[in-house]
Amino acid sequence: MSEHRHTLRGAITVAVAVGVAMGTLTAGGLPQRQDTAPVAAAESATPADTAEHARLRAILRRLTTVDGGPGALVAMRDRRGSTVLTSGVADVKSHAPVRGDSRFRIGSMTKTFVATVMLQLAGERRVVLDAPVERYLPGVVRGHGNDGRLMTVRQLLQHTSGVPDILDHLKPQDILKNPLAHHDTRDLVNTALAHPPTFKPGKGWRYSSTGYLLAGMIIERVTGRPYGDEIRRRVIEPLGLRETYVPGDASAIPGPHPRGYVRPGANAPLVDLTAINPSVAGAGGEMISSGADVNRFLDALLRGGLLRPAQLREMMRTRPTGNPDGRAYGLGLESRPLPCGGLYWGHSGDMFGYETVSGATVRGRQATVMVNVDPGGTDAQSDDMKAAVRTALCK
């Protein structure tokens, strides 16, 4: 899940309120605010580092005070080493601080991993990006004007297929009444395809998690293995990402992690939604990772450690999204302008209880910001998270 957090907020607010009233969800109190010391500083801070860290600490304090987040972290990495700064609490009851090695649900950051595997398959000539979806999933995309014979694999990955977005057609109240329920990918796809396309394939741009559910199905059809197994085999294990998981039906987050909270409204108490079956997001957003692992993944990706040059160029061939901030979308990877010049590459993601924003430059600097509330009740949280990434990258 990602770009639809504002669209879904009202429905989630109602759903959470219903869940608390029915006793299916637990409301927590507001956290005490506190900052914690930096973790794993790579070397002695220079004056430039000190100024940068001061700016980042100010943003983290804003995220965990006026923005209403319980806890937050920013993980930074460059050729000299890594640093993590944290603020706030991982648990509003115990007031335990956020750990620098915390795992979060990373939501739509999953899409970058999925697109990487698909492009690896393209490099192996097992998938043709401009082939119709029908070639790999015969008869799957049909009905209400949707036709897999008319849309391509590339269009799924770039959100230009016009396939209706499952996030527009899920009922959050149904998810939150039974957050541990399994959701079958084909059922989710069929729910989306019961609605007409948003435009003809190739004639527009609109974010659609359904496209990535279909991409996961294509990976499984081509390789004979679940898309998650391919991510583990092709990305997680080669890079040694020990804090990254494709959980499937597992509702627990392995290893150290903050509690994940939903805030039904700006002044409402937090609701604990740490345990949820992530199959509801599937290949569109189910993964778990840490800031350090996300940074390592983006660095390897942009350096060409995961894709051949031709496929990396395809991934980074973007088209405008129409967003006034200048964002452009490639294949599972987006670019945004930096105030200090140039672009950064990355993705954002949110899943009930957690939000992540990550970016990297081609010069070898990465930054990932994570907060343990989603939705947070205001729009300011996402804006401040992006500001933290820009600040970290514009050293």
Q: What is the pLDDT of residue 50?
A: 78
Q: Give the span between the Cα atoms of 2 and 287, in whole angstroms.
A: 13
> Has residue 376 got a pLDDT over 50?
yes
| Chain centroid offset of residue 239 CA | 19
> Has residue 291 got a pLDDT over 60?
yes
pTM above 0.85, yes or no: yes
Sign of CA dihedral 292, 294, 295, 300: positive
pLDDT tens-place string over residues 217-262: 999 999 999 999 999 999 999 999 999 999 999 999 999 999 999 9
Catalytic residue among 2, 87, 102, 108: 108
Q: What is the pLDDT of residue 258?
A: 98
> Has residue 31 got a pLDDT over 70?
no
Q: Which CATH entry fits the domain spanning 5-393: 1.10.3720.10, 3.30.420.40, 3.40.50.10800, 3.40.710.10?
A: 3.40.710.10
Structure tokens at 190: 């069929």
Round the average pLDDT of the chain to a whole number and report it.
90
Q: Give the span between the Cα atoms of 115 and 362, in whole angstroms.
A: 18
> Has residue 7 got a pLDDT over 50?
no
DSSP-based three-state secondary structure for 167: helix
Do 232 and 247 touch, CB atoms closer than 8 A? no
The per-residue b/e assignment along 196-214, b for 16 or more CB within 10 angstroms, e otherwise, is ebbeebeeebbbbbbbbbb
pLDDT tens-place string over residues 34-83: 333 333 333 334 455 678 899 999 999 999 999 999 999 999 999 899 99
Q: What is the pLDDT of residue 116?
A: 99
Which comes out higher in pLDDT, residue 236 or 176? 236
Banded model confidence at residue 27, pLDDT cuts 50, 70, 90: low
358 is catalytic: no
Q: What is the pLDDT of residue 266?
A: 72
Q: What is the pLDDT of residue 268?
A: 82
Q: What is the pLDDT of residue 221?
A: 98
pLDDT tens-place string over residues 113-127: 999 999 999 999 999
pLDDT tens-place string over residues 79-111: 899 999 999 999 999 999 999 999 999 999 999
Name the percent of the chain lying above pLDDT 70: 87
Strand partners, 387: none
> Has residue 349 got a pLDDT over 50?
yes
**Residue 87: enclosing H or E segment and its boundaries?**
strand 81-88
| Chain centroid offset of residue 36 CA | 25
